[in-house]
Structure 1
Amino acid sequence: MEDIEDMFAGGAGGAPPGFRLPLNAVGVNPKRNTSKRSISKQKDEVTDSNRDSLAPPSMKIPGTQTIYIKTFGCSHNQASSANRQYWISDSEYMAGQLTAFGYGLTEVPEEADLWLINTCTVKSPSQSAMSTLITRGRSGKKPLVIAGCVPQGSRDLKELEGVSVVGVQQIDRVVEIVEETLKGHEVRLLNRKTLPALDLPKVRKNNFIEILPINVGCLGACTYCKTKHARGHLGSYTVESLVERVRTVISEGVKEIWLSSEDTGAYGRDIGVNLPILLNAIVKELPSDQSTMLRIGMTNPPFILEHLKEIAAVLRHPCVYTFLHVPVQSGSDAVLTAMNREYTSGEFRTVVDTLTELVPGMQIATDIICGFPGETDEDFSQTVGLIKDYKFAQVHISQFYPRPGTPAAKMKKVQSKIVKQRSRELTCVFEAFAPYTGMEGKEERIWITEIATDGVHLVGHTKGYIQVLVSGPESMLGTSAIARITSVGRWSVFGEVIETLASTNVVTQVREETKPACTSDVSTCETCACSAESCCGEGKSGEACNVSGDITRQDHKTGEKSMTKEEEKQEVVSHWGLVDKALVCGVFVSSLTILVLIISIASRVLLRQ
């Protein structure tokens, strides 16, 4: 059987993103699965199934059922995990398409008519948790759809027998797959020749954060990595499509844009561009009032080395977080060679030193794998030395897990007890750092986008992406504020909001669209549609001109906006409505009438005399 994508009428173009195709439209005839076949021999197909686990719960109209979506990502808890961003973004796109076609979503598995499980193959614990959930779903006779890297990279897994699967580049077909699975069919969509569209419907996990994939796959060949097996070779979205997506999400009220990729630094090498070109194009679209911030995703050292100064310039931009996730994995060159990481520990140090020197307040997170095959005590000592030298505020420490099918899985392993011991030792070293000491009393601008796990505080981030926990109403989500740091902890700092910053960017944009054409008369610059630089000159850019991106500071306690005297006059005048004018006219007429009466009476008195 050929791949479904090759069987569409009209060639490889396929259906529009999210379009639901009937079973016969994809050129596949349902048939009874009368014999057991190895999943590894099956290509993308739809088959009938008599298994109880796939029996439809009830005959409902398609699009009216309820779906439970579970996302498994990396074991990293920190938001900087590039791989976790990918899985969250994929789940958001799938949820968006399902809700667009009428399906309901639930967080209670027992209430769902079907379970959609989005999987991760980076770490063994994530895959084990996936297997447990699949077993639980089978026991509950729930129709199952397994998405993500596990089915894409390990098609012959026993756990995937009898369930529908969708690959990492087939998420725009999720509606079809869910519908057919609810009918009792087993669907397999794993092969594709094009990237999914960026404008698919989306249900964001956080309404204020857009996770934007800029490419899939990577150019590396790390000996321990399974993700490459699933996501394949590098495939980059065009600069134009990404910039258009940025414009769209900003108009939707997004306050943070996270660029996501297996390796951000490798972006564009397959289409003749590079990361600095993309970043410079994106920052031009960001509101000048800093109401929407950009966060650059994880990048490995080899490719960023070529663009350090250009990347540093972008990181200094007011609308870009001065934060970067650069995995080192080991401080030993011998281990890095065995990992096939394509850089040395010295080159990693060059990346950190250069960015720290060129970018004020630069924050760098990194990753370490403890107990890689062949790692000696001396190798591990070099890793500990590297971490001690830089005292990173964020280090993602993991133990080596052999992934089936990778070269590292065949290498001689370090004893399990030694791996655990090294992991504990490095964790103790890392947790002894106090990276935020000295921040007490400082005032920092923060961007508030989340509710803390304690359910009490709101989470904001400084420009260096340091987590600041503040108290306040949920209405502050999506805003920016000035916070005074009151105390510091190991993982975050606490602060109090002393004033909020209300963006006037949207109002100013509407006002500028209605301005008359630009003139060369500087006296009219306040109302013309030209820019400050071209109309007023550099000296008047902050005075006479009304430039997009003004920020109105609003006192957090009183909620009153500060105004100039001219603005106060305009505010008073703007409140004169029709009733006010009528009252004034009435007073004037009455006064005139009284004056006439007085004159008339005086005249009569004089005549009598």
Structure 2
Amino acid sequence: MVGSGGAPPGFRLPISASVGVNPKKKKNHQTNFKNNSTIEGSIGAPQSPKIPGTEIIYMKTFGCSHNQSDSEYMAGQLSAFGYVLSDNPEEADLWLINTCTVKSPSQSAMETLISKCRSAKKPLVVAGCVPQGSRDLKELEGVSIVGVQQIDRVVEVVEETLKGHEVRLLNRKTLPALDLPKVRKNKFVEILPINVGCLGACTYCKTKHARGHLGSYTVDSLVSRVRTVVNDGVKEIWLSSEDTGAYGRDIGVNLPILLKAIVAELPSDGSTMLRIGMTNPPYILEHLEDIADVLRHPCVYSFLHVPVQSGNDTVLSAMNREYTVGEFRTVVDTLTELVPGMQIATDIICGFPGESDEDFAQTVRLIEEYKFSQVHISQFYPRPGTPAARMKKVPSTLVKKRSRELTAVFESFTPYNGMEGKVERIWITEIATDGVHLVGHTKGYVQVLVIGPETMLGTSAIVKITSVGRWSVFGEIIETLNQINENLVSSERKSGNKCTPCSDAEENCACSREPEPCACKMSSCGGQNLLEESTASLSKKELWPEERNNQNLIRWLLRRRKNHSQKKMENGIVSEPKENQELARGRTREWDLVDKALVGGILVSFLAVVVLLYLGVRPPTPSN
């Protein structure tokens, strides 16, 4: 089991407790200390003295969402100790680069940045997978290093580097705490690492060298973090790891157990959404129905990233991917069948060693068959130290040709055709790169661009899709939803201690407090669109308003009429089960009569008051 370990937030471990200091010694003189940590003298002049914690730090992050989360944690700790974070490398007193080792281009970009830093004579700290997996890399000579499990000690490393020392912290047996200070790149999005490392041994992968074997955070620690970030106003939680599906296998739990526990903590008004991270096929095959059940939940995006890498079993075997194309198809077909509106993204590596023309043709046919809305296409890059780097390579010209061919096939798809005119609920979390549109996502994680004020960031909205593009769709805002009607809670089926939607919105789902399957048919559980559920709940409140005794009668009637007219908007925004529609129509007719009676009574009362007032102010009749 992985504990939280490390210093608590806001507290610095004494540097002498775990690393040695050899000031002003030659760089080639190294001393190893506890925890495989060293501090070495700088070969250059130390920085001019400043008040500790007042310097400016430039941070640059490469790679995956897990790396992004690590950077946010490091930024949070540095900010907590007074350091100023800047996007301008020129004004910075120190550069901190968080690196990625997945692809050669990312590492090349890192090396270029290191070279620029040396030319600018700036102190440098390098973090992430490159130094962790390739600690003896020539480009890292004379550079301070923070390992992937040492991010909770970044303040120490920065302080010593600013003093002119070289620091290397690489080894650790426990993961950093989840409650460290954090500065999010997007304040509405929490990237939550649920585990590090993986159980696989892919022949091309360098990340395993850096992140190591699987190490999972406990369910309790992750649920506690979810509670915290929801209270902080986060609107999207991204679960991140090297392989989400492998979660918990080292501590006796599994991914469905974690997902159900997290979903139970999400606000019932649908204001915070969960996005499940990348998962390889082998570790979710046995949990497909449970995963589908979670993906149907109204607070979970119906989206999953499942890399296939190749459409040929021989190539997959050479990659040591531990699944077949048929098993990948099982994952895609099952989730697509069980989850309405399911969207799946995948990855392809073009030109893996030994890949023949026919092998590649099978990959193309697979992508053409499923027409995935998102495909991440990469050329094979041999990573030093991996088994694939020693395999016979496909000529680079052929690798590039295959990459271009597959890209052309993918870009020929029109995945969002047919969405025009549809009404969708979206969650808005960022501003588009054009600076004009806001970016939201549907429950299927389709990107929707809308025009609206920045105050809409962090909100949800009902939009009508007006046009579609290749990579996103455009929408027109119909209504902003600050929160969904509280009656939505009663139409949820329990997951942990809460319920997700069942077919009968009038009754609570017949499930216990344990995270058991809903006691209703799969076809009726969790299948309704969240928009339908919320409007169905709203219709009940409109027809039988519990608060009407506390409202002015006329105001209530006017509001009810307004809401009734809104329900008749274009294309029938409100979509209820047929039996509910019939019931609603019957109740509406009944209340129409009541409305008339009430309005008639009000008019009669008004006339009576006028008559009485008139009689009351007549002048007295003169007496004889």
Query: Scaled by the length of structure 1, what TM-score is found?
Result: 0.80
The structure-2 alpha-carbon separation of the partners of 1:445 and 1:27, relative to structure 1 and needing over 3 Å to count, comes to closer
1:238–1:356 Cα change, 3 Å: same
- Kept in 2: contact 1:124–1:401 (CA 8 A): yes
CA shift for structure 1 position 538: 7.5
Q: SS in structure 2 opposite 1:109?
A: coil
> Which residue number in structure 1 is paired with residue 42 of structure 2?
49
Equivalent residue number for residue 22 of structure 2: 30
The change in CA–CA distance for 1:380 and 1:532 in structure 2 (over 3 A counts) is closer
**TM superposition shift of 1:343:** 0.5
Correspondence 1:382-393 to 2 at 5 A: 382-393=362-373
How far apart are the structure 2 equivalents of 1:322 and 1:532?
18
| Aligned partner of 2:55 among 65, 69, 75 | 65
Aligned Cα root-mean-square deviation (Å): 3.3
**Aligned 8 A contact 2:104 2:381 in 1:** yes
Call closer, same or farther: CA 1:416–1:37 in 2, change over 3 Å. Answer: farther
Deviation at 1:16, TM superposition (A): 3.0
- Indicate which of 380, 384, 390 corresponds to 1:404: 384
Q: Distance in 2 between matches of 1:344 and 1:31?
A: 55
Please tell me whether residue 301 in structure 1 is matched to residue 281 in structure 2: yes
**Match of 2:73, as an amino acid?**
Y
Give the counterpart of 2:215 among 235, 242, 245: 235
The corresponding residue for 1:16 is: 8
Shift of 1:43: 3.5
Distance between the aligned counterparts of 2:23 and 2:43, measured in 1? 11
Query: Partners in 2 of 1:257 and 1:394 — Cα distance?
Result: 20
Structural mapping, 1:132-143, within 5 Å: 132-143=112-123
Task: Give the drift of 1:479.
Answer: 0.8
Aligned position for 1:272? 252
Supply the AA of the counterpart residue of 1:315.
Answer: L
Equivalent position of 1:590 in the other structure: none
2:291 counterpart of 1:317: no
For residues 440 and 506 of structure 1, do their structure 2 counterparts lie closer, same or farther at Cα, with a shift above 3 Å needed? closer
Conserved 8 A contact 2:19-2:38: no
Given that 1:503 and 1:551 are in contact with CA atoms closer than 8 Å, whether structure 2 keeps it comes out as no
**CA distances 1:149-169 after superposition (whole Å, capped 9, x unpaired):** 000000011111111100001
Q: Which residue of 2 aligns with 1:353?
A: 333
CA distance in 2, matches of 1:353, 1:40: 53
Q: Which amino acid aligns with 1:68?
A: Y
In 2, Cα distance between the equivalents of 1:313 and 1:38? 55
Matching residue within 431, 435, 454 for 1:474: 454
Matches within 5 A, 1:498-577: 498-503=478-483, 539=506, 567=547, 570=550
Tell me the distance in 1 between the aligned counterparts of 2:375 and 2:128.
26
CA distance in 2, matches of 1:218, 1:371: 24
How far apart are 1:502 and its partner, in Å?
1.8
- Find out whether 1:330 has 2:310 as its counterpart: yes
User: Residue 126 of structure 2: which of 146, 155, 159 is its match?
Assistant: 146
Would the aligned equivalents of 2:192 and 2:240 in 1 still touch at CA under 8 Å?
Answer: yes
**Is there any run of 5+ residues in structure 2 with no aligned partner, and where?**
490-496, 510-530, 556-615
2:128 corresponds to 1:128:
no
1:101-158 CA-partner distances (Å, limit 9, x unpaired): 1111111111111111000000111111111111111111111000000000000111
Report what 1:225 is aligned to.
205
Residue 387 of structure 1: SS of its match in structure 2? helix
Change (3 A) 1:293 1:179: same
**How much does 1:22 deviate?**
3.9
Secondary structure of 1:162's counterpart equals coil
Match of 2:463 among 483, 487, 494: 483
Contact 1:17 1:173 in 2 (8 A): no
| 8 A Cα contact 2:32 2:38, kept in partner | no
Structure 2: which amino acid aligns with 1:23? Answer: I
In the TM superposition, what is the alpha-carbon distance from 1:287 to its structure 2 partner? Answer: 1.1
Q: Within the alignment, does 1:212 sit opposite 2:204 as a pair?
A: no
Deviations 1:536-580, CA, capped at 9 Å, x for gaps = x974779xxxxxx99799xxxxxxx9998775763569x9xxxxx
Change (3 A) 1:145 1:562: farther
1:505 to 1:31, Cα distance in 2 relative to 1, 3 A = farther
Once the two structures are superposed, the pairs formed by residues 425-440 of structure 1 within 5 Å of their partners are 425-440=405-420
Equivalent pair of 2:19/2:39 in contact (CA under 8 Å):
no
Q: Determine if contact 1:294/1:320 at 8 Å carries over to the other structure.
A: yes
Match of 1:248 in 2: 228
Q: Is the 8 A contact 2:29 2:40 kept in 1?
A: no
Equivalent of 1:110, from 78, 90, 94?
90
Q: Which amino acid aligns with 1:33?
A: K
Any idea what the Cα deviations from partners look like across 1:405-463, whole Å, max 9, x if unmatched?
10111111100100000000000011001111111001011111111111110111111
Letter in 1 for 2:194: I
SS at match of 1:402: coil
Distance 1:66 1:488 in 2: 43
Residues 482-516 of structure 1, C-alpha deviation per residue, up to 9 Å, x if partnerless?
1101111111111101111121689999xxxxxxx
**Alignment check: 8 A CA contact 2:195 2:215 kept:** yes
One-letter amino acid of the counterpart of residue 64, structure 1? T
| 1:169 paired to 2:149 | yes
Unaligned 5+ runs, structure 1: 1-11, 74-83, 510-529, 543-548, 554-560, 576-597
SS of the aligned residue for 1:279 comes to: helix
How far does residue 21 in structure 1 lie from its aligned partner after superposition?
Answer: 3.2
Report the counterpart of residue 95 of structure 1 in structure 2.
75
Give the residue type in structure 1 aligned to 2:96.
L
Letter in 1 for 2:37: D
Shift in CA distance, 160/562, structure 1 to aligned 2, threshold 3 Å:
farther
Kindly provide the amino acid, as one letter, of the partner of residue 53 in structure 2: G
Query: Do the aligned partners of 2:23 and 2:165 also contact (CA within 8 Å) in 1?
Result: no
Counterpart CA distance in 2 for 1:538 and 1:225 is: 48
Match of 1:374 among 344, 347, 354: 354
Could you tell me how far 1:297 is from its partner in structure 2? 0.4
> Is the 1:164–1:187 contact (alpha carbons within 8 Å) kept by the matching residues of 2?
yes
Partner of 2:476: 496
Identity among equivalent pairs (%): 75
Kindly provide the CA deviation profile for residues 239-295 of structure 1, in whole angstroms up to 9, marking residues without a partner as x. 010011111111111111100010000000000000010011111111111111111
Shift of 1:40: 11
Contact 1:503 1:552 in 2 (8 A): no
Q: Quickly say closer, same or farther: Cα 1:294–1:109, change in 2 above 3 A.
A: same
Distance in 2, Cα, partners of 1:551 & 1:249: 24
Change over 3 Å in CA distance of 1:552–1:567 after alignment to 2: farther
What corresponds to 2:610 in structure 1?
A: none
Post-superposition CA distance 1:578-597 (Å, at most 9, x none): xxxxxxxxxxxxxxxxxxxx
User: In 1, Cα distance between the equivalents of 2:16 and 2:144?
Assistant: 18
The structure-2 alpha-carbon separation of the partners of 1:507 and 1:185, relative to structure 1 and needing over 3 Å to count, comes to farther
Classify 1:27/1:164 alpha carbon distance in 2 versus 1 (closer, same or farther; 3 Å): closer
Amino acid at match of 2:16: N
How far apart are the structure 1 equivalents of 2:148 and 2:398? 36
